[in-house]
Chain A
Amino acid sequence: NAGVTQTPKFQVLKTGQSMTLQCAQDMNHEYMSWYRQDPGMGLRLIHYSVGAGITDQGEVPNGYNVSRSTTEDFPLRLLSAAPSQTSVYFCASSYRADRVYGYTFGSGTRLTVV
């Protein structure tokens, strides 16, 4: 049982490049989400999914796309990287999209856009 696995751990991109941050969980969690964490701004929700085939926008979705073709995987795509997207990205999952359950977070992807 690996929990939530994020890859890569570190990435440097040039402005305008695209890439996909991977997130996989092996706990059969329905709910998956992506957050970014910036100094002084806490965690901000980018996109989330309540099940395979269902995704929705969070509070800072611009510049990012997601898909949920399987229960296990929830990749985050940066369409055209910008320096403002330099951040630490966390994937989190929960058994159900319900307040009763705690979230399991991945170890993060540290992204630098130059």
Chain B
Amino acid sequence: DAKTTQPTSMDCAEGRAANLPCNHSTISGNEYVYWYRQIHSQGPQYIIHGLKNNETNEMASLIITEDRKSSTLILPHATLRDTAVYYCIVRVASMEYGNKLVFGAGTILRVKS
């Protein structure tokens, strides 16, 4: 699975858009980009995933560059409840490894009032 690089932490004002970047320069053509988050003391929460096209759901938007070497997760109107660690994961399903998720250090997003 491709390695990802994320900033250690970011701050965002409540009500503003939070833009979380992720670099994955070694991504392969069949690898998807997934985003999860983990709010303190809770289980990780799936947010969104994509292959090459931009994706949007009720939680967020995912923008993937044309060369697929980087992506940005956008929370359009951040609230205090969005304060969490955000993980960018790039992966190919491989039952040899149990289809496991590999979480890196992630980005600590602090939404401030």
Contact = CB atoms under 8 A, between A and B. Distances in A.
Given A50-B95, A100-B49, A42 B43 contact: no
Contacts of A99: 32, 91-93, 99
Interface of B: 32, 34, 36, 41-49, 91-93, 95, 97-105
A58 B43 contact: no
Contacts, number: 70
Contacts of B32: 99-100
Interface size class of A (residues with CB under 8 A): 20 to 34
Contacts of B49: 100, 102
Given A42-B104, A45-B98, A59-B100, A98 B93 contact: yes
A45 B43 contact: no
Nearest to B105: A42
B111 to A, nearest CB: 22
10 contacts: A4-B43, A31-B99, A43-B103, A48-B98, A50-B95, A97-B93, A97-B99, A98-B99, A103-B101, A105-B46
Contacts of A47: 98
A105 B105 CA distance: 18
